[in-house]
Amino acid sequence: MKKYYKYLPKFYFNSIFQIPYDFFFQKGIKAILLDLDNTLLKYNENQINPKIKKILYKIKKKFFLVIISNASKGKLKKILYPDFDYIYLKFYQKKPCVKGFLKALDLFNVSYDQAIMIGDQLTTDIQGANKINIISVLIKPLDPSKESFWTKLNRFFIEKPFIKKIKKIDPQLYKKKFQHFLEI
């Protein structure tokens, strides 16, 4: 079971709207790293919802903010430029590889303990952040019914079995971090 703890988020919230940003600010967090697809934007959409955009602008007032995504460079530029910083990850640097996370820390000259990563996938966002001890925050996907083929595979073969195992061996941990994440 120990090998699965790489997928264990430090925190879980239903959405980016529930995250206590002031709490993290008071704890010395300076940078917020975010995933794009199904965290800020439904899969295959080309525009961030105005409510989500509004909270991103609010976050930018207190924190450095960067989007780290496995999406294409064209998609990132079209959706995020010029409003938000983003890090495009080349094929061999895709999450959970730590290169993108390290680039983000470098970009803002912050250490791993001054950053949080917010995302909807255990196998990319959470595992990548956990590899270098960035605080990992899992949120519920915006629309789990619409995801890429690879994400569906990850959810079915890795995330769901992991969550079922947690539910069986540690019901309290399951209740605290995964009860509302994915319906099993």
Share of the chain above pLDDT 90, in %: 69
Contact 100, 128 (CB under 8 A): yes
Q: Where are the domains of the chain?
A: 2-146
For 44-71, b/e burial (b = at least 16 CB within 10 A) is: eeeebeeeeeebbeebeeebbbbbbbbb
Give one DSSP letter per residue of 96-127, joined into a string: TSSHHHHHHHHHHT--GGGEEEEES-IIIIIH
Rounded average pLDDT over 132-143: 96
pLDDT of residue 93 exceeding 80: no
Q: Contact at 8 Å (CB) between 107 and 100?
A: no
Mean pLDDT score of the chain: 91
Tokens coding 91: 């094929």
Which pair of structure tokens corresponds to residue 108? 């803002």
> Would you place residue 184 in the very low, low, confident or very high pLDDT band (cuts 50, 70, 90)?
very low
Q: Reply yes or no on whether the pLDDT at 183 is more than 60.
A: no
Residues linked to residue 137 through DSSP beta bridges, in sequence order: 11, 118
**4, 162 Cβ separation under 8 angstroms:** yes
pLDDT at 182 (0 to 100): 65
What is the percent of the chain with per-residue pLDDT over 70, rounded to a whole number? 96
Lowest-confidence region among 4-8, 19-23, 27-31, 75-79: 4-8
Question: What's the confidence (pLDDT) of residue 72?
Answer: 87
pTM, two decimals, is 0.92
Provide the CATH number for the domain formed by 2-146 in this structure: 3.40.50.1000
